[in-house]
Structure 1
Amino acid sequence: MNEESYQHILQGLLYVCGDEGLELQDAAGVLELTEEETKHQLNLLKQSMGEAVPGLQIQRFGSRFQLVTADSIAPYIEKLAEGPRQAKLSQAALETLAIIAYNQPITRIEIDDIRGVKSERAVQTLIHKALVQESGRAQAPGRPILYKTTERFLEHFNISSLEELPALEEDTEEPSTEEADLFFKELETENQEDPGSSYNTI
């Protein structure tokens, strides 16, 4: 396998791992290379992406590597997140927010398991809207990031504490968050109709 092939694989692995990051040891195992050889390939990929894909970059956090947006486009991402078309939360974001609200602190992998689909984009949307924030790391392999809701979350839905969230059914093995989704959606609608609400400030 040539170097370009290794870099294509690494790029895909970084994308799939999302905000959890790609562990050097895991990448080396997939590529069947030593960690030093894998690190060399990651450095080559970082250089090539800087030239070919300037909007993205690879950051290293200890033994983890993560694909992130370049600092130079941060103002544009914030502008997109704050735009009027982005104000209302999507169904995916509402589902993800409900899961975090009722299970915090929680990792993205755990969110994915509950939803049954990838939630990276929804989590990032909630972070950009300041409704969710990082809350340390779990004591698990890879030390995945934990997420929890913010004070802004309470303000956005006009509630004073998490205790005001509707109780979920407890007679099932995995309580459904459909009721919570509906609760958040109704609050979004109420806030949208009320010009003085916090909804329009996001």
Structure 2
Amino acid sequence: MLDEEQVEQTEQAEEAQPVEQEEEEQADLSRQDRDFEPTVESVVEAVLFASDEPLTAARLTKIVEADVKQVRRHIKNLNEKYQANNNAFRIEQIAGGFQMLTLSPYNHWLKKLLRVRSDTKLSAAAMETLAIIAYKQPVIRADIEAIRGVAAGEVIRSLCYKGLVKIIGRAEILGRPMLYGTTKKFLELFGLNTLKDLPKIEELKKPPA
């Protein structure tokens, strides 16, 4: 039979094993990190992963020190890898730049995780006004009110405050009223690359009952 000293030594050895194993695993990871050599493609991926806003091709080329053609090729390669691996994200063109985004089929679960910020919550009146500005821009307030049939001053001011609408000039008519248009933030919020990506009016019409 084992005496008390032998039992204690055995218990200490068993307790030390998980710690030693964990230290060995951490050492292996550290060696792998030291041996890892970043490629242009992995740098593009890291930069887009870390960015919370779309990055233009010009800005990406400056950061990763590669030309536009290379950057676009690496983005294409990365997207092909993501698709082959069935990843939940892709690199998309948004607001004139590139951004890493989750795919729309995952929206149901993401909505449970994320709370929509109050500064981007829009009322029905704001959405209607924003849609008119998006499709009719540059547009004056009087034309917006003529379409909606109600005053739109407060709603337009609210949209400007939220950064979704801005003054883009003045109309060459009597009184030279201000012209309104949408912003880059509008494109980002609705996942559009340019205004050309807006749905066609025909696509928005409800099908006949």
TM-score by length of 2: 0.41
Structure 1 or 2, whichever has the larger Rg, is: 2
